[in-house]
Amino acid sequence: MGIEEKVPSGFLLSTVEGLAGYMRKGSLWPATFGLACCAIEMMATGAGRYDLARFGMEVFRASPRQADLMIVAGRVSQKMAPVLRQIYDQMPNPKWVLSMGVCASSGGMFNNYAIVQGVDHVVPVDIYLPGCPPRPEMLMDAIIKLHEEIQKTPLGVDRVAAARAAEEAALKALPTIEMKGLLRP
Amino acid sequence: MAASKGKKPGKPGPLASVAGFGTTFGTMFKKPNTEQYPEEKVPTQLRFHGRHQLNRHPDGLEKCIGCELCAWACPADAIYVEGADNTEEERFSPGERYGRVYQINYLRCILCGLCIEACPTRALTMTNEYELADTSRESLIYTKDRLLAPLAEGMVPPPHRMYEDASGREVTEKEYYRGEVPRADDDLLGQMLAAAKAADENAAEVSS
């Protein structure tokens, strides 16, 4: 009947996915979430010399409802963790999290009771960026790698299936407490 | 006083409220200083602390002796080393020991360079590479295969025996560290080339 039956299977949806991904990655709006020294580098990336406006993301939104990318820049203390989660929950879907710097990614050199050992204990992280603090080029590199991930994001049924598969994989994965070596948090 | 005759320093003149626009207007004629990062990469300073690298001796043997001093110096506990003994059949570095397992967790490493200062054999140095972002925690633990320096001209991948000079004498560990080994000896290079050739022929036979 329709065009869906004439074209090869998956053709139409994949094209729509590609288009949606292209538009999503071209207009990421970051929420300001500067927590420590990494925020200085994040501000430098937004300013004239490195100019995030080239990627269509110069507006750092102070309001989470108008943002879809959370750049967690700096160490997250135990007291900040619920605040971070609330801001993440307030952001509309689809949303992404970039964990900037070693402190946000794994606690870094602050392996103590006050700091959350990796922001992925609180929110799902899409891309990790090492460095202490990462230079603006490193942040832009992480953003470009995130763009590639966004471009590949499935839509509709595929998106639900992908989320299921990710959840199953996470349930099957070895708990961090049983991990050995450097992976142990 | 002479200064009190002129304009008072604290009081703005009549044009002061629009003087700021002059700065804005003047900026329009300046060249933009924006770096076009992904297209044109501006090289970092040579002393920039980037990703680590495990170096090799000129004949391809590893410099790391598995002493764990880098792991002890690390303020963030980001390095994990496990040493093992070299044997005559399997030699990875000149001398007694080599680093069997070498991991750096880039989600802990703060790129401070204390490990570089601690390394007694200059096995560990830093490159200027900084594009490290990745999507999972596991992939950011770099193992030895990603940290080792690539093989340069005249190097043979370990394990292999130590360098033999023209008279056929195997040189000592000290001569390695004095830099008296120029490259892998002809015997070893010949063996490597022959092995590569044989592998190529095998692959051709399998595919045909």
Contacts of A27 (CB under 8 A, 6+ apart): A56, A57
Q: Quick check: B134 and A128 CB within 8 A?
A: yes
* Binding region of B for [4Fe-4S] cluster: 64, 67, 70, 74, 109, 112, 115, 119
- pLDDT given at position B8: 64
**Closest listed residue to residue B60, CA positions, set B87, B92, B96, B88:** B92
Q: Which residues of A39-77 are buried (b: 16+ CB within 10 A; e: fewer)?
A: bebbeebbeeebbbeebebeebeeebeebbbbbbbbbbe
Q: Is the ipTM of this complex over 0.95?
A: no
Query: In one letter, which amino acid is B120?
Result: P
Divide the 208 residues of chain B into consecutive groups of 10 and give the mean pLDDT of each group: 57 81 89 88 91 91 92 91 90 90 91 93 92 89 91 87 83 87 82 84 79
Report residue B91 as tokens: 């030699």
- pLDDT given at position B65: 92
Tens digit of pLDDT for each residue in A44-64?
998 889 988 888 887 888 889
**Residue B92 forms contact with A (CB below 8 Å):** no
pTM of whole model > 0.90? no
- pLDDT given at position B5: 55
Per residue of chain A (185 residues), what is the pLDDT tens digit? 465 566 666 566 667 888 888 888 888 899 888 888 999 999 999 888 998 888 888 788 888 999 999 999 989 999 999 999 999 999 998 899 999 999 999 888 898 899 988 898 889 899 999 998 999 999 999 999 999 988 888 877 777 888 888 888 888 877 766 776 666 54
Q: Length of chain B in residues, anyone?
A: 208
Which of B32, B107, B133 minimises the CB distance to A142?
B133
**A4–chain B nearest CA distance, Å:** 34
- pLDDT given at position B2: 47
**A57–chain B nearest CA distance, Å:** 15
- Chain B partners within 8 Å of A137 (Cβ): 35, 37, 41-42, 130-131
